[in-house]
Amino acid sequence: MDALKLIAESSMKKELPVLNIGDTVKVHVRIKEGEKSRIQIFEGTIIAKKHGGVSETFTVRRVAHGCGIERVFPVHSPVVEKVEIVRSGKVRRAKLYYLRNRVGKAAKVKELVK
């Protein structure tokens, strides 16, 4: 079991930004198309974080053309190049699943003023 933990810890990323629920982030994702690869940016609000350690994931939601899109990103995946925090959100919940039922301005998260 110790060997498994060592392998898992070696594959973890060293520098990670502090991701909080309600933050608006830009996730730079490497997409492979045939032989070529490119970086695609997915911008949205973090509505959930799950697990911990190597298997930690976060869910990002955005609304594009009136349709809600959610993507789950593993934090330590080599596909995720980097995560930029655009703004911090002020929330009082661990999961923001209620945003799925909201439309327009009601689906916004207030900005955290420091």
Look at residue 112 and tell me if it is in a domain: no
DSSP 110: P
Look at residue 114 and tell me if it is in a domain: no
| 1 pLDDT higher than 70 | no
Q: Which two tokens stand for residue 16?
A: 């990670």
The pLDDT score that the predictor gives to residue 99 is 96
Q: Which two tokens stand for residue 11?
A: 């594959």
pLDDT digits (tens, 9 = 90+) for 19-77: 999 999 999 999 999 999 999 999 999 999 999 888 899 999 999 999 999 999 999 99
CATH code at 29? 2.30.30.790
The pLDDT score that the predictor gives to residue 69 is 97
Look at residue 76 and tell me if it is in a domain: yes
| 114 pLDDT higher than 90 | no
Look at residue 17 and tell me if it is in a domain: yes
- Domain extent, residue 29, equals 2-107
pLDDT digits (tens, 9 = 90+) for 74-112: 999 999 999 999 999 999 999 999 999 999 899 999 999
Could you tell me the pTM of the whole model? 0.90
Q: How many structural domains does the chain have?
A: 1
The pLDDT score that the predictor gives to residue 10 is 78
**Residue 60 and residue 11 in contact, taking contact as beta carbons nearer than 8 Å:** no
The label of the residue with tokens 């697990």 reads: 51
Gap between the Cα atoms of 60 and 52, Å rounded = 17
Gap between the Cα atoms of 85 and 18, Å rounded = 9
